[in-house]
Amino acid sequence: MGRQELLTRLAQPNERRIVLLVLDGVGDLRTDAQPRTALDEARTPNLDRLAARSALGRLVPVGTGITPGSGPGHLALFGYEPTSPEVDIGRGVLEALGLGLDVPPDAVVARCNFATVDEAGLLLDRRAGRIPSAEGQRICARLAGRIEAAGEALGDGLEVEVHPGEAYRFVLLFRAADGTPPLDPGLADTDPQRLGVAALPVQAAGDAGESARRTADRIAPAVAALQAELQDEERANTFLLRGFSKLPVLPGVGELYRLRAAALAGYPLYRGVAKACGMEIVDCGGSFGEVLDRLEERWSDFDYFFLHVKGTDMAGEDGDLAAKVGVIESVDALLPRLLDLGPDVLAITGDHSTPAPMKAHSWHPVPLLLWSESCFVDECSRFTEVEAIRGAVGTIPASELMGLLLANAGKLAKFGA
């Protein structure tokens, strides 16, 4: 019997409420050049008081030495084994679900970033200067016009849709026209993940078969035509594609753990992960204050709440330690509003580390704070990476967090006689 099957067998509902607060990319590094992390530097009196009454530890999102994407990182926090083929959800589908799209089961979806290239086609900015959402919507409308004007000439038996997301992000949805072979999602990302080089071509992933190669041959001309449409844009003069995928079929957290679960997240990707896991999406803005506004309104409707804060990750990717400190301090200032609701279990952690010195996701374990009336209070006094190393929870796989949350909420029956 696997761990998830065991939790499903033992799950028992009650009225106790669990809150999982994810500070995206919160984990950081101590290095010679940066001797203190954002959590070290932040003035967090509310988190400090909570840490002194809690159990700290560290979560390994996917596996030792493995750098996780945001999708696998969150799936692990929700109790799924992120490396299992059954829960391998591509970023494209997650983004589309988070935008509220109805994704047909035969569609292949890619999450796209507007980007900036120079005259030689070399990448200058993989996020097009983080253009605002209004500009992203304008450019997506331009692409939609190009698709409509081209009709079937845009691709070989392809139907293409473009849907704007937040800021520089958008979604491309591809479907095979009636009577043409189905599309295969086994395509590689075109984002090289670094600057000063050209984007990669649309091509089959290294381990994909002939079906994926045929799909790449059909999609590549459509992508090239849409990229050509943007050549005269000042900043968003091309785009990168990531996470080609089809709609997965997952058992939801309600089915697995008998939870009434809600997700409050401002960005589509995280709403998409939660929706794929069967959570109800509560519309909210992107700030922690707006998340708390909606949480207070819907507190009596659910017994599990996933709250998401994006700013820590964005600051880490920008290499801006001071900005990361500022996001953490802003969350700390509003923490009493969350505590005043009286959650029975509260966990604060990240989906992965995004160290400012690295300006990217990393493989480092993520600090965890776990509070409940039945947690083992350790001797930690602050919520930091170093304190978490000596916390009572220890270092555990992130996929085991759900079991701890359920146990602390009294939502698991005893195993055996």
Assess whether pLDDT exceeds 90 at residue 154. no
pLDDT of residue 153: 63
- The residues pairing with 123 across neighbouring beta strands, listed in sequence order, are 117
Burial environment of residue 151 by CB neighbours within 10 A (0 to 12, 13 to 18, 19 or more): exposed
d(CA 251, CA 261): 13
177 pLDDT band, cuts 50/70/90, is confident
Assess whether pLDDT exceeds 90 at residue 261. yes
d(CA 189, CA 115): 14
Torsion of CA 193, 199, 202, 203, to 10 degrees: -70
Assess whether pLDDT exceeds 80 at residue 401. yes
Integer angstrom CA distances of residue 393 from 56, 245, 376, 380, 396? 6, 35, 8, 11, 8
Lowest-confidence segment of 62-66, 95-99, 111-115, 195-199 by average pLDDT: 95-99
Domains of the chain: 3-89+251-408 (3.40.720.10), 96-245 (no CATH)
Report pTM.
0.85
85 pLDDT band, cuts 50/70/90, is confident
86 pLDDT band, cuts 50/70/90, is confident
Assess whether pLDDT exceeds 90 at residue 155. no
pLDDT of residue 2: 87
152 pLDDT band, cuts 50/70/90, is low
* Segment 187-214, tens digit of pLDDT: 999 999 999 999 999 999 988 889 999 9
* Segment 15-59, tens digit of pLDDT: 999 999 999 999 999 999 999 999 999 999 999 999 999 999 999
